[in-house]
Amino acid sequence: MTGRFEGQTALITGSSGMGLASALRLAREGARVHLCGIDEALNEAAREAVGDLPVTVTRVDLTRDDDVDAWVRAAGDADGINHLVNAAGIQTYGDLDTTTIADWDRVMSVNLRAFFTASHFAWPYLKARGNGAIIHISSVQGFANQKNVLGYATTKGAVHAMTRAMAVDCARHGVRVVSISPGSVRTPLLEYGAAQIAGPDGDPEDVIAMFGRGHPIGRIGTAEEVAGLVAWLCSSEGAFVTGTDVRIDGGLTAQLGV
Ligand SMILES: NC(=O)c1ccc[n+]([C@@H]2O[C@H](COP(=O)([O-])OP(=O)(O)OC[C@H]3O[C@@H](n4cnc5c(N)ncnc54)[C@H](O)[C@@H]3O)[C@@H](O)[C@H]2O)c1
């Protein structure tokens, strides 16, 4: 690994799955990383995974503005901020009949509003460094979706629009804004989704295998593959990429299902 992030600091939301994999990748390449998540069991597992790498892991509820502000401010005042990776998210299921207003508000709050608030609080620090990126983890479901994901798909499509709007405004300050749309990637969130689809009598592993067969490449992705893309986009090699979405989906959205 090269030290292409030496002297740089990244803030990453979501202490498991793609957030954790991105933290490990950036830290191994020289970045100081501040990672956060709501779930203390996942936070503790992340602390063990990072070992001696320069990564802090903090309990933050991203739906609480004061929590987000305090986390960003502490990290920014200590180390400055070059990159923000918004990876935290929740999966909700429901259609127009079954999505309650509480479910709608919850998924908007974590998957969309918190992407804005973390970016908002980090912006003075990102602008001051003037050499970095905001990466939003969206989803292929922002382009085309499964049944029964009304709220989730809405947040992911909105993240694509938010990425464009932020990128146009941030470019002159030397900060790029890019979204990533993964297909199925093995993480706690995917395993939760597979268990919902399998139901009490089914096997989530059968559902995950079915997801894999649905991708032309013949398998689901790994969090490390997404982390590699996050690193490339944050690095100087991604210097001309902004205001767009990059799909990492094994061809899933290239193929018609009929
Ligand atoms: N896994 C997939 O197949 C897949 C595919 C496309 C997009 N995504 C998106 O990728 C992103 C990362 O998810 P993942 O798959 O790595 O799953 P994950 O479950 O490992 O990570 C999500 C993290 O968000 C944290 N989180 C949830 N609510 C929070 C809150 N209020 N405050 C702070 N942290 C909170 C969780 O504790 C968890 O650590 C999500 O935005 C997800 O929607 C996932």
What are the structure tokens assigned to 216, written together?
């032309």
φ, ψ (nearest 5 deg) of residue 133:
-150, 150
For the chain, the domains span 9-254
Distance 52 CA to ligand 1 centre (A): 24
Q: 1.10.260.40, 3.40.50.720, 3.40.50.1100, 3.90.420.10: which CATH number matches 9-254? A: 3.40.50.720
Note the pLDDT tens digit of each residue in 172-204. 999 999 999 999 999 999 999 999 999 999 999
Residue whose CB lies within 8 A of the most ligand 1 atoms, among 189, 197, 245, for a mutation test: 189
Residue recorded with tokens 């912006």: 123
| Residue-wise pLDDT tens digits, 44-59 | 999 999 999 999 999 9
Q: Is the CB of 58 under 6 A from ligand 1?
A: no
Ligand 1: atom nearest CA of 182 is 6
| Residue 2, pLDDT score | 61
pLDDT at 187: 97
Question: How many Å separate Cα 31 from the centre of its chain?
Answer: 18
User: Residue ranges of the chain with pLDDT lower than 70?
Assistant: 1-2
Residue 163 token pair: 């990425």
- Distance (Å) from CA 91 to ligand 1 centroid: 8
Nearest to 14 by CA among 118, 161, 150: 118
Mutate to test the pocket of ligand 1, among 18, 108, 252 (most ligand atoms within 8 A of CB): 18
